[in-house]
Amino acid sequence: MRRMQRSRFAFGPFVLDPGVGTLLRDDTPVAVSNRGIKLLAALVGRPGEILGKTELMDAAWPGTVVEEGNLTVQIAQLRKLLGPAADGAEWIATVPRVGYRFTGPIEKLDGVKQRSLPLPDKPSIAVLPFVNFSSGPEQESFADGLTEDLITDLSRVAGLFVIARNSVFAYKGKAMDVRAIAKDLGVRYLLEGSARRAAGRVRINAQLVDAVSGEHLWAERFDRSLEDIFAVQDEVTAKIVEALLGRLRAPPPRNRPKNLEAYDLCVRARKLIDDSPQTAREAHLMLTRALLLDPEYAEACRWLAMNHWMGWVHWGEPIEPNRSLALELARKAVAIDPSDAGCRWVLANLLAYERRFDEAEAEFAKAFELDPNEADAWATLSDIAVLAGQVEAGLEHIRKAFRLNPFPPSWYYLTLGAAQYAARDYEAAVETLRRDETYRTSSRRFLAASLAQLGRLDEARAEVALFLVSNPHFTTRHWVWTEPFRDDATLEHFVDGFHKAGLPE
């Protein structure tokens, strides 16, 4: 791959670094969301040009159908953060019925120094998104699914350190040198490749690279019937393990779908669950269809369970039947595939919300026994530990999750911020929670509580007002009833912050 240096963009007192997702004002970080960074990068990358609304939505919500109102909200938030330019004009101008354009002068800064993470004490690998060489974009989910499955399979191999899906997909479509990517992610080895699917056959090219020496440790081309795709995945996994650990073996077999349409639906759906209530409903339809096509597909059961849980905990859906359906589906997923760590931690989380804590702990332990690299499980366990009063353990769990997933989904910041609040590190909690936008409707309450504990009551009240716009029926009493608290002192600490901030009782 050709090395492409990251560029920064300077305008007024600001410096934008899209590669690492930061915006500085006079060298001080500005709390801007991920989507805000993407929108701003699209606009400053073509200053003076009119960018249509569709183009901007594709930049901020790639591969996702969202309402135009989401774009309007993000642009408004960017304008508020940027403030007026020196001449009093707005940095981002509206072009009625068309889109937006960036109006100020831009200076492009090259040669950004890359940050690096220390290498783990075991062979470490990231699977880069496989390039889709199939005839149409609708086949993109196939290449993505191949990438994700290889990540899952390698994660289950004892002795390997494997970067999570969310972080590697940050590099999708980007032409960067493998050494720069390896430094970003803190790994030594990278797997890269391509996939082509046509006329009932699949062609896969894969190569394993030592990013330190630049040496290619293994490369192979597979040309098989599409029905053999999962056998090919097992073969690739075994050969990578042999190259890294010196023995030809693969992890224990796991449940595979019997229907490729169900597989495609599940790959597409799992990208949508965390995004918004609208995309979660779309995911629900896809996963329901996948299970109709393949009733014994454990991963589809697992993600549909998670979708039901998200509905009543985060998106304001009715508690029942979502709560009972989530638990039923999670149990079914584990029954179908007891060796799938993902199914185990989803069930563990749901059992915790049922206050069946001993069972939950057993399921978490089994999940980590099966896959110690399961970043989402560590992040989820962090939340459960904090509510149990095990704050230091919770902080350690979420730190481990961030190391396995350096470019995580937004909810990791909510989890970290809540843990920092519980630890009474309110300044850190404010900094963390202001990085979180996707989950802002959930995290604003923790942000408000942190500000209130710092005595910044005007800011806390403003956050509460914004939170209640999206959550008009919220009460602290109902939240306490919903969350699986096990420690009275921790519960009282959260309630105290909520009351000081002015959240309804």
Question: What digits encode the pLDDT tens for the residues 486-502?
Answer: 999 999 999 999 999 99
pLDDT beyond 60 at 114:
no
pLDDT at residue 401 greater than cutoff 60: yes
pTM assigned to the model? 0.77
Average pLDDT over residues 202-228: 90
CATH 1.10.10.10 fits 8-109, yes or no: yes
**Half-sphere exposure in the Cβ direction for 154 (13 Å, CA):** 32
pLDDT bucket at 88, cuts 50 / 70 / 90: confident
Is the CB of residue 333 less than 8 Å from the CB of residue 305?
A: yes
What's the whole-number mean pLDDT along residues 235-254? 79
Q: Where are the domains of the chain?
A: 8-109, 124-245, 264-501
pLDDT at 269: 92
Per-residue pLDDT, 402: 93
Task: State residue 249's pLDDT score.
Answer: 62
Give the mean pLDDT of the chain: 88
* pLDDT value at 49 more than 70: yes
Q: How far apart are CA 45 and CA 435, in angstroms?
A: 22
Q: How far is it, in rounded angstroms, from Cα 399 to Cα 417?
A: 12
Give the amino acid at 169.
F
Average pLDDT over residues 462-478: 88
Count CB neighbours of 299 within 10 A. Answer: 29
What confidence score (pLDDT) does residue 112 get? 44
- The answer to whether residues 189 and 206 touch, using CB atoms and an 8 Å cutoff, is no
pLDDT band at 393 (very low <50, low <70, confident <90, very high): very high
Q: What is the pLDDT of residues 359-374, one digit of tens each?
A: 999 999 999 999 999 9
* Reported CATH class of domain 124-245: alpha beta
pLDDT in tens, 131-157: 888 766 667 888 899 999 999 999 998
- The amino acid sitting at 37 is I
* pLDDT for 2 beyond 70: no
Architecture of domain 264-501: Alpha Horseshoe (1.25)
pLDDT at 3 over 50: no
Which residue in 418, 373, 368, 419 sits closest to 394, CA to CA?
Answer: 419
